[in-house]
A = this chain, B = another copy of it.
């Protein structure tokens, strides 16, 4: 008010002066998520210089109004019943959130339209301070949406290049490579993969690691079938790769639930699991050691994943300047009888 101006200063003026987008200004005042701290500093300086402070942002910056974290899940119930990720992740996440008196609100949606609406509604109502983004998909529209909404979030998974949202995930690449290399060292040359839902980023990544190891050893990666992370999908996929001319002597399943169904299908085909067809899965479900034979697996600690996601999210909301952070947790190969000792056929 002391400096006479032609018109009211807007966020666009701040953006122009700082050399950033209008969205970046909004985000800088909304916790600084997905901005380098130097960028946030530059925006704050520009805003100071122009004497600008947005009302809603000022409200959000001091003590989040909702004290609630939103988790929108697009998953069918039959993918929830045996999947250890969801309940364990939730338990770890919620433990951390509740220590800081944050509530967790969950919504299940059935399609992309409903999903987008929910993000928009919660953001418009300011009913959540930040989002948990899991089950990353191909060309995932949620990154652009979060950007448009200027919303804080944490990604559970490895976001594509250019996405500047903090993320945490299990780095299982080396464990999978180690398990596959071990099979090849034992003499397996026909190694199959039963893949998860190809729309999901982690399903594609596990397939790519498998194909990469085989190619590195000069082996063909033709024994691939999609199981979609479900039991019935795994049965069909297993029958499919067992029926080819040179069938596999070893199969890597993209999750333990499919491995359990696959082991049964292999046995029903008259083959001994762990002897004629070696198997390992992924997740480390509590029942893995009790399957017959006990299931070798790439084990992930989903409670820890939830705890770390919660801590990263709250740190981002409480600090005003947090740059994009990537954090990985190690996955662990657990060798059990299903892994076998080498091709016995």
Interface residue ranges, A against B (CB under 8 Å): 68, 75, 77-78, 80-84, 86-88, 90-92, 94-95, 98, 103-109, 127, 231, 257, 260-261, 263-264, 267, 285-287, 289-292, 294, 302-303
Contacts and interface: CB of A to CB of B under 8 A. Distances in A.
Contacts of A98: 107-109
Contacts of A289: 231, 264
Contacts of A109: 98
8 contacts: A81-B84, A81-B286, A82-B84, A82-B285, A94-B107, A94-B108, A264-B289, A264-B290
Given A81-B88, A98-B108, A104-B105, 12 more contacts: A68-B105, A75-B91, A77-B88, A80-B87, A103-B105, A103-B107, A231-B287, A231-B289, A257-B287, A264-B289, A264-B294, A291-B292
A263 B285 contact: no
A104 B103 contact: no
Contact of A87 (B81, B261, B285): B81
Contact of A261 (B94, B105, B260, B290): B290
Task: List the 9 closest pairs (A to B, CB-CB), nearest first.
Answer: A292-B292, A80-B87, A82-B286, A260-B290, A77-B91, A94-B108, A264-B290, A81-B286, A77-B303
A259 to B, nearest CB: 9
Nearest to A68: B105
Given A77-B91, A80-B91, A104-B107, A257 B231 contact: no
A275 to B, nearest CB: 14
A94 B82 contact: no
Contacts of A82: 84, 285-287
Contacts of A286: 78, 81-82, 231, 257
Oligomeric state, in copies: 2
A6 to B, nearest CB: 45
Contacts of A264: 289-290, 292, 294
A188 to B, nearest CB: 23
Contacts of A92: 77
Contact of A106 (B75, B77, B90): B90
Contacts of A104: 105-107
Contacts of A294: 264
A294 B108 CA distance: 32
Nearest to A88: B81
A158 to B, nearest CB: 23
A318 to B, nearest CB: 20
